[in-house]
Structure 1
């Protein structure tokens, strides 16, 4: 049985009342342990639309089943945010680019196409376990995800950085040019409410990472600064100054982007997915986490500053294409924000190593669905995990981002 009830009424939001489903096939799209914030299904649909037969390949996102994960991800709020983002905000991103005179072939279609959604089955405006978001299945258009354990090479890093800069710039363009829509619709997608269970899980994961550092001989000389930086991350906040604040994805790493290639395996397009955790903040927060979490070691070692510069240049170029005055976005302020926010991002960087470097196949489907606080693993006996933890530390030290 397809776990999604009344999928036909969801698809009628795009295809109209004449849409009829004949049969469906479905499977889990992601392996257990690759995504905890939702259940993601690949659904192939044979249907009839305006008396013509058609086949649809779609992805359906459902809330997680485990009570722990529902609370951890604050699913009633995060599902609503993501549904509103795909249905109301993403179309405005395209519209703004069109209105700015960007030619069709240069438009940034940052996200997969939205085909239908609801917060609940009993009441479409009220969250229940049948909350659903239906999107085009990017895999059927030859988009693929890269390997989270290996990380991205320089070509992929730059490609993703360029798209991230465009996402941030377009959100700012929308804020400056359509301020009423931004206040009313976009800001509600960026609400953030820290649940008690989420705060506890974050503290536990950071504490585990901290304990792991204490058991690594190579980290011994850094322990005092590690402790101070962790404490700083939990107690300090940076209030973004306008006009810099933007839509921050807040979970921008390898698993939340998909790439498409030409015949020579060069990336020609990419889409960003998973907009559950979006917040209103400085764009550098996404950049720092992405660089540290997703880059291959040698790329980070040799090109970190170049990638930071490339983000800024792409961001300014994108603002210009939207006819935004870029004098309000000087590089000196950007670098200041980067150095201000980086120590606070240390906690996210070290806790997410446990997820990103988790050994493949270490979580079963049942464990993923019945997850409790023990689900996020990773330990210093796993060499990938240990080396990544040390590398994060060395990068923060090199950039002067550890608190003294």
Structure 2
């Protein structure tokens, strides 16, 4: 039950500049028939009426209080608080510094219960079973992501470096350095999944190096805790932290060409190099074939957009964020992007009926967290799109960072020798 009061409605209408003079009423309905869209919250629509005439609708994201274990995870990790902090403190300023609006408008948050945002009804998700983006959609995302990241650089240039209080607001919540955290436990459960799946991949299951791979993969996966920290070497920005296909929405013209792209769901927002977001979405939401064809082009699109945003604000891009830094950081953070993509995709690619069953039952969710994750993922691995995507990511991670078979040339750029060790030693 979502506890929306008349006072809440008045505040929401006032902030959205909607006038009314009659009797107010409202209802809440499902955002979509696909119940798996909201992994860390229930996605709903709030419709407001004035004398029985609809005057506004909003997107409402609520903590799933009816699913105890999901609520515990959200509250323990502070996901709801983090998202509210972003929308209330950072977005109003970043939005003013941007040439486009890269995120939905924020109207209201109630305690630890729900957030009310602009209903992007003219936007759509690029929903397909494989959860991968094509050229046009990924290009649009790179431009929007560059503008979001640029707004963070502009913010610090105009108003000074983020304060300690602001940095605390952006302290890591997705992969905190806490051994007993539910998220840390989740990484360990994910490692168990990867160990089982690797043994199902033909190129490894008969390899004389299989045991070496299985022995090394846990520590490789655990290095994600280093990759998400603010960098001491590279420029940091306010980053999304949860960038994959379902967290991007697109608006199309009458010819079905992309007009706009917006990024949603900021519950993992952090302070890190731009490469963390880019590598994550690159490996979670594209195919290896796409990366081989368009890797360099997409980086150029991203950087040129970033450069234009900085130049418009009188900021020398070559001084603040030179292109060479982007290229170098992409090499350094490739490993982290591959790991994060595996942590995302073994969950986000689960068949919708299976995911819905897990997310909408407290017993099933708790069982999945504690014991059935390996079983469910191995079952999903029989499905081609799930198997193909996870196999591609696992193979790139293993070949490049365990076996080092492709360490000379990685995703179209020359890898610095031993640079994969940099973060573990220096960060």
Bin for the TM-score computed over the shorter chain: 0.7 to 0.9
**CA shift for structure 1 position 9:** 4.4
Correspondences of 1:195-210 after superposition (within 5 Å) = 196-210=181-195
Equivalent residue in structure 1 for 2:344, among 352, 377, 387: 352
- Cα shift readout 1:16-43 (whole Å, capped 9, x = no counterpart): 8976763323222242222221112112
Partner of 1:69: helix, strand, or coil?
helix
Alpha-carbon distance, 1:403 to partner: 6.3
| Alpha-carbon distance change, 234 to 303 in structure 1, aligned in 2, over 3 angstroms | same
* Shift in Å, 1:10: 4.2
CA contact (8 A) 1:292 1:392 kept: yes
3-state SS of 1:117 partner:
strand
Question: Is 1:277 matched with 2:271?
Answer: no
Could you tell me how far apart the structure 2 residues matched to 1:21 and 1:86 are? 30
Offset of 1:67 from its aligned partner?
A: 2.9
After TM superposition, list the pairs within 5 Å mapping 1:146-165 onto structure 2.
146-147=127-128, 149-165=130-146
Residue equivalent to 1:170: 151
Q: Partners of 1:228 and 1:290 in 2: how far apart?
A: 25
C-alpha contact 2:24 2:49 (8 A) present in aligned 1: yes
Specify the alignment match of 2:423 in structure 1. none
Question: Aligned equivalents of 1:21 and 1:318: distance in 2?
Answer: 45
Query: Following TM superposition, where does structure 1 have runs of at least 4 consecutive aligned residues deviating by more than 6 angstroms?
Result: none
TM-score normalised to structure 1 length: 0.83
Q: What residue in structure 2 maps to residue 132 of structure 1?
A: 114
Cα distance in 1 for residues equivalent to 2:234 and 2:286: 29
| In structure 2, C-alpha distance between the alignment counterparts of 1:199 and 1:13, rounded to whole Å | 41
Structure 1 residues 179-218: aligned runs within 5 Å: 179=160, 182-183=162-163, 186-193=166-173, 194=176, 196-218=181-203
Deviation, structure 1 residue 174: 0.6
* Preserved CA contact (<8 Å) 1:32 1:365: no
Give 1:2-401 correspondences, 5 Å limit: 3-6=3-6, 7-12=8-13, 14=15, 22-30=24-32, 31-47=34-50, 55-65=55-65, 66-74=67-75, 77-97=78-98, 107-118=99-110, 120=111, 127=112, 131-139=113-121, 141-147=122-128, 149-179=130-160, 182-183=162-163, 186-193=166-173, 194=176, 196-220=181-205, 221=207, 223=210, 224-225=212-213, 228=216, 230-235=218-223, 237-238=226-227, 239-241=230-232, 244-296=235-287, 298-328=289-319, 329-364=321-356, 367-370=359-362, 371-372=365-366, 374=368, 377-379=376-378, 380-396=381-397, 400=400
**Is the CA contact 2:358–2:368 (under 8 Å) kept in the aligned structure 1?**
no
Asked whether the 8 Å contact 1:160–1:270 carries over to 2, the reply is: yes
Deviations 1:68-122 (A, max 9, x none): 223333467221221121123111113224xxxxxxxxx210111112122x2xx
Deviation of residue 322 (structure 1)?
2.6
C-alpha separation between the residues in 2 aligned to 1:12 and 1:84? 21
Q: TM-score, normalised by structure 2?
A: 0.79
**Alignment partners' CA distance in 1, 2:256 and 2:18:** 41
Deviation, 1:54, is: 5.5
Secondary structure of 2:163's counterpart equals helix
* Residue of structure 2 equivalent to 1:124: none
* 1:342/1:401 contact within 8 Å kept: no
Task: Point out where structure 2 has 5 or more consecutive residues left out of the alignment.
Answer: 405-427
Pair 216,156 (structure 1): closer, same or farther in 2 beyond 3 Å:
same
CA RMSD of aligned residues (A): 3.0
Aligned residues: 379
2 CA distance for matches of 1:402 and 1:165?
Answer: 31
Distance (Å, rounded) in 2 between the aligned partners of 1:322 and 1:298: 37
